[in-house]
Structure 1
Amino acid sequence: MEKDKNRYKILVIEDNAGDFALIEDFLDEQISSPEIFQAKNFKEGRSLLVEEKLPVNVILLDLSLPDKSGENLIMEIVALSAGIPIIVLTGYPDISFSVKSLSLGVSDYLLKDELSASNLYKSILYSIERKKKSAELEESEKRYSDLFQLSPQPMWVYDLETLQFMNVNDAAIRHYGYNLEEFLEMTISDIRPVEDLNQVEESLNQTRRQSTFHYNGISRHRKKNGEIIQAEIQSNVIYINGKKARVVLVNDITERLHYIEAIERQNQKLQEIAWLQSHVVRAPVARLMGIVDLIKNYHHSENEKKELLDHMLISANELDGIIRDIANKTKLI
């Protein structure tokens, strides 16, 4: 079997010279050029990890050291290791303690009597790879957590069965006025107006029937101060710890809708003005043009002229009134 050519740096915390020599032989058998560092007690190990900040890929830890042992030793080394994988090597086959060791943060638990070059190498390899994947997963979870918490728009996750809020981001807390504790004691029905609850139940029933159902729509929400807002909702079904939930992104479009309504009212007024200009104004203008034509092209008696001038004045007054009405409507836009 070809040796592993990777440059592994391994810290062995072991006080027994024979056991340390055996570990060295096992490592040399599987790895081309391992860099092996020894600490003969807890104090030396702490010095290498904390004071010298020794960069190692894995720690092989004997549980019976002169100055510390057992559970206390594990807890201390885990605290000092800064995430470096720790493999316990011990001569005591205590299954319950081995399980507890893993819960304390140890990567693996190997018995010295059963130790071989192959299983030691595999344990080191698996521990390093497991730690790498764990770090990648933590980074991924942090990244998605940041996307949730640092979003400038309100977001939350709620349980599809109980409708209970499971988590809300800071933007939701600021926008709706409830603190985190209040949110987590509420359901999504608590932020909806009472008159909309039937619509909420209908939408939820549809969502429960379709596991991949994506929702995009507008709903009315109620803030803590009682203000009703128009919320544009985008949401998807997700699973958290085996529970079917829904993640929701909220965009408050209340001001936008008010702006659109104002524009529509202005357009309606402009249409009314345009109608006045194209229809109402034409009538008195047409009469004035007709009267002017009669005066200009036909002979009339004094009484007829007076009557025509009276009609002209009436039409002029009517036109003046229409123009004033248009001006008043324009001021209101």
Structure 2
Amino acid sequence: MTMPEQRFRILLVEDNPGDAFLVRTLLEETGEPFDIEHRSDLRSAMAVLNGDGPDALFDVVLLDLTLPDSSGVATISQIRSCANTAPVVVLTGHKDEELAFEALQHGAEDYLTKEFPDGRTIRRSIRYAIERSRAERALKESEERYRKLVELAPELISILSGEEIVYINQQGLSILGAEDSAALVGRSFMEMVHPTSKETLGEYIARYQDGYGGRADFTIICQRPDGDNVELEVSAIAFTHEGAPAMLMLAEDVTEKRRIERQLVQTSKLATLGEMAASVAHEMNQPLNVIRMAADTCALQYDLEAVKPAFQRERLSLISSQTERMSEIIKHLQIYSRPDDDDFVPFDPMKAVERSVDMIEHDCRLSGIMIEVVPPAQACLVKGRQVQLEQVLVNMLTNARDAINENGDDGSIGGLIRLSAMVDENHKVLKLAVNDNGGGVPEAAIDLLFHPFFTTKDVGKGTGLGLSVSFGIVEAMNGKIDVRNEGDGACFEVTLPIVSFGNVSEDIFADIPDEQVFNDTSSNTAARQNTRILVVDDEIDAMEIISGYLEAQGYNVSAASNGEDALAIAGVVQPDILITDIRMPQMDGNSLVKELRSRDPALPVIVMTGHPGDAERPVDDDGADAPVMVMSKPLNLKELLGILDELSEVCGQM
């Protein structure tokens, strides 16, 4: 038999009908079980609270301090003097911190201005006021346990004896998705902990069981019964339960906070990319210029009827190498700009240094600023996400460049940025310092630099997010970031813990397969002639080049520039292998793959994409008998040919 849902009775003392209606409406929208009794003056409110029976009992009083027959904090004292007292939440139209403090001194549990964003704010204040009032009453007669719980007053409060939950508060039940304490008390807290956090929590439980008496701060992820994960920032202290060592755990649900932080990180990264648009354009124009000139010289030989095969092959090889250079630039920008969802892994920080300098060096050179990199005496690995460290360094380098430009408008100084790396073997830390000669940071601004939206730049020249986001990134890597003035400029220094010494084989492009060079042989000519290939790409030039190349290699090729035409062709001649682009108008590559796989689940598919992010990945057909292979643009046609030869051999054996 289920227990009836607890309903909270609220006495709303408010003389403004509009404000009273707004409070009632917002609370009803929360869906919480509230019963609201409304009075418009102090006299009638006190009459209710001094009455007899259940109608005089309330869980909370929402009290306006400006009533027809009373005003100011004295109103609180009169309400609390009634026979049936209840926690008081003050409602006021004034944003006055002094008044708020005075109201709390006179016995109010909370203080709300009437600029309500939504009902959840009122609901939270009511719940906190009710819980706080109950805890205050319990303090007078309870043991030390309840006193400590109320003193720290976090959102989740739990006492663990070993792994066993012996107490958990109402907010903790809500966070963990439990209906009542009976659902959790007596169970192991480990049952609610995500597998990735079990080791962390287990370590601290064991430490407190062994008599550790200090405080510990750590982060864990818990799993709710509905499948959602919640991230908790935990503060733990030693406690005693029934004479044995225990752990008092206080935790805040920071799930939404972390989501917003990730959005800020992504926003900052995209803002940085926008600021570097000119530099990126230059980096792309360099290989484009070489490609254009190489193509023009090849065309000139044809115009002069003086074609030299060796010269043509040399120039075509040059064009191919320059496209590879452009591809690397694009891949790095894509990796830099995508959301950071990967796990922390060991990586070589000097690769982040190299990438960040590459991204900013052209802009600095145009401004007459030289970047000097001082490598460490010993190679090492740090743990985190390489692209995030790049983001931190790019931000610091950009700030250094801007400071030099602002300080040297008259051209009287030579701009110099020094990025130095130093390994401290004794403390096992790496220090990355960015020094400039841009005049330094105003002393009054140093303590504010890492605050969100604070900037020393002119309006329109900075978001104020860069250093704040950088601070969060470095902190997440268990490091720290400091700023000070040195010489004639500023020094931003990042300190990171070293996980090991020596070189690393990891690479930022580890998820991108290395180029495979396949031999172009004619030993499988028969297999090629018997294999039907369907090429689909809305870029007609690309479609024709791929088709022509494969036909020249002996394959039987059909081509289409959209998904509908591809389906029509496949309806007449069933392909043995499908090669398709992902992003196409009307019917995209994913839809085409699904449709053709519904006809032939064993159809091998090669997907071409210039967008390797998760949003562009092809669908997974769990029921299909053949995989979907992914090739990044620009395509290496020799690599494509090698893959097709392998697939055609398999098709020939079926």
TM-score between both structures, scaled by the size of structure 1 = 0.39
Q: Which has the higher contact order (CA 8 A, sep 6+)?
A: 1
Larger radius of gyration: 1
Higher helix share: 1
TM-score between both structures, scaled by the size of structure 2 = 0.20
